[in-house]
Amino acid sequence: MPSLEGKVAIVTGAGRGIGREHALALAQAGAQVVVNDLGGSLAGEGTDATPAQSVVNEIVAGGGEAVASYDDVSDFAAAEHMIQRAVDRYGRLDILVNNAGILRDRMLVNMTEDEWDAVIAVHLKGHFAPTRHAAAHWRERAKAGETLRARVINTSSPSGIFGNVGQANYGAAKAAIAGFTVIAAQELQRYGVTVNCIAPNARTRMTEETFGDLPPPEEGVFDPLDPANMSPLVVALAADEAQGITGQCFFVWGGSINVLRPWDAGELFAKDERWDADELLTQLKERFSEGVAPDGMVAMMSKAGGQSMRVG
């Protein structure tokens, strides 16, 4: 395992599921960890200090160093407080893993304003706010002459990049997080910060809500849905040696990690003057004689080396 000795990490939503595994893995690699978790329900209601504190206890019991944060990542001032907590306690911040999330699934036609706003707030603003304050901290250090090797690791989803029915709010936020990753990578490169994102797959309360009970395989058989499968990538990207890898989105399923292609140039309709709509329509029908539509999440996940939990 690469050594993260002397580095300070924040993992948001680290009281449960995938974030908990990231926090444990980063601590095992030697990082001091701020374990952030608001402790709410899957729908983002209520608060509870227990999940974050119990992960801190686990890290400390294993000989590591950690402190809890109960800040709400979707609150701009609370996100600043969380970054400040790392700086006050450990003197610096090196690694920010944005992972906190909630779910309020509904078909678009029935979705309420609250269901839309809450999910966009926790995921999208919940990525922007901590990254914004961490970036200010890193800019200050870079301007003072320090050579940084800092990291932001975001959490997208197959739902956003491939498109999952019933998750217009969640998928839109997750697609936006992939876009945010590319822009933040370009903006923060000058300070020595890399920004990447993960599209994970794991058995947690979140997937059990969507896909039902997902029993683990029998003892001794590799479990592709173990949330701990997501964390070696976070540790690898956090290592100094990964300084050249930025702006990428990694799909992870068990032992398969697929570095996804971003939106890429495709079918080109070109002429040296403005198109006439009639002529363009004829060309579109000719070029897409069978029609054209998204392949859907199940097909795309299989192409990327995984499978949908719906059929798995």
Ligand X SMILES: NC(=O)c1ccc[n+]([C@@H]2O[C@H](COP(=O)([O-])OP(=O)(O)OC[C@H]3O[C@@H](n4cnc5c(N)ncnc54)[C@H](O)[C@@H]3O)[C@@H](O)[C@H]2O)c1
> Which residues bind to ligand X, rule: CB under 6 A?
12-13, 15-19, 36-40, 42, 44, 51, 72-74, 99-102, 122, 126, 155, 157, 200-202, 204-207
Minimum distance between the CB of residue 6 and ligand X, rounded to whole angstroms? Answer: 26
Minimum distance between the CB of residue 13 and ligand X, rounded to whole angstroms? Answer: 3
**Length of the chain as a residue count:** 312
- Among residues 64 and 306, whose Cβ is nearest to ligand X? 306
Minimum distance between the CB of residue 24 and ligand X, rounded to whole angstroms? Answer: 13
Catalytic machinery residues: 157, 170, 174
Minimum distance between the CB of residue 100 and ligand X, rounded to whole angstroms? Answer: 3
Exposed, middle or buried by CB within 10 Å (0-12, 13-18, 19+), for 99?
buried
**Residue whose Cβ sits closest to ligand X:** 17
- Among residues 154 and 191, whose Cβ is nearest to ligand X? 154
- Among residues 54 and 283, whose Cβ is nearest to ligand X? 54
User: Distance between CA 118 and CA 104 in Å, rounded?
Assistant: 8
- Among residues 7 and 123, whose Cβ is nearest to ligand X? 123
Partnered with residue 258 across adjacent β-strands are: 251
Exposed, middle or buried by CB within 10 Å (0-12, 13-18, 19+), for 266?
exposed
Tokens (6 digits) for 143: 């301007």
Cβ neighbors of 153 (< 8 A, separation 6 or more) are 95, 96, 97, 98, 195, 196, 197, 198, 234, 237, 238
User: Distance between CA 248 and CA 258 in Å, rounded?
Assistant: 10
Minimum distance between the CB of residue 144 and ligand X, rounded to whole angstroms? Answer: 30
- The single residue listed with the structure tokens 């936020």 is 173
User: Distance between CA 285 and CA 130 in Å, rounded?
Assistant: 46
Partnered with residue 151 across adjacent β-strands are: 95, 194
- Among residues 15 and 163, whose Cβ is nearest to ligand X? 15
